[in-house]
Amino acid sequence: MDLLALLLLVFPAYVANSVPVVFGGGPRIDGGRNFIDGRRLFGNGKTLQGFLSGVAFGIAAGVVAVLLLNGKYLPEASFATKMWLVGAMAFGAMAGDLLGSFIKRRLGIGDGEASFVIDQMPFIIVALFLALLAYPPLLGALGPDGLAFILVLTVLLHYLFNLLAHRLRLKKVPW
């Protein structure tokens, strides 16, 4: 899979994961409820509006990218399959972000506290997992090099965009 195709694949997930910083707010997904360990399920930073806006903007960005660059993005896949992948990546990113928050709360890591791997990896791992369920040939197309590239790129972009969001006063902390 070439570089452009890899970027198109992860684009909906990256957009979805970024949007809640700007369009989040509203009711908390966990409603303030605690898990059986007495800690919050997800924490104050995970809202229904943020989740839904992330999915919606991720899908919209992915659809636009596929329409503009359809021939470069998995040319062997049907348009419908590409739309499933876009949805899987956007929804998977937001579900993975929730999973990361759930894990952080279980480990006693509070809202806004940094956790290198848990802050960066769950959103892209769950997004890729759902994309592979939607289109199993993607695993062969990605290969180990493509997967490694995505994971390294995710760490770098996550760091840079969180730093930018902090400087723009969209986030209280730079992680």
Q: Which of 173, 5, 172, 20 is nearest to 95 (CA)?
A: 20
Separation between Cα atoms, residue 163 and residue 175, nearest integer Å: 7
Tokens of residue 93, six digits = 């990113």
Q: Is pTM beyond 0.75 here?
A: yes
pLDDT at 153: 94
Q: Which of 148, 155, 98 is nearest to 121 (CA)?
A: 155
Separation between Cα atoms, residue 61 and residue 78, nearest integer Å: 18
Domain boundaries, the chain: 3-167
pLDDT at 23: 93
Tell me the mean pLDDT per 10 residues along the chain, length 175. Answer: 88 96 93 96 95 98 91 86 96 98 94 84 97 94 94 91 84 73
